[in-house]
Amino acid sequence: MRLKKIITILLFSTIFFSVIHQYPIDIKIQSFGPSSHGDGTL
């Protein structure tokens, strides 16, 4: 029972974080990365 709950939480959080991090981190890398002089990317 407990193991199933842990696996479900892990799976859900992994999907959740990968979706959440995909966008803000992409924007942050593009705006603070090597191309920080702004090339049309917000």
Supply the pLDDT for residue 17. Answer: 81
pLDDT means over runs of 10, the chain (42 residues):
92 84 63 54 50
Supply the pLDDT for residue 16. Answer: 83
Whether the model pTM is above 0.75: no
Spatial contact of 27 and 42, defined as CB atoms under 8 Å apart: yes
> Tokens 């407990």 identify what position?
2
Q: How far is CA 14 from CA 18, 21, 33, 37, in A?
A: 6, 10, 25, 33
- Is the torsion defined by CA of 18, 19, 24, 29 positive or negative? positive
Supply the pLDDT for residue 25. Answer: 59
Supply the pLDDT for residue 26. Answer: 61
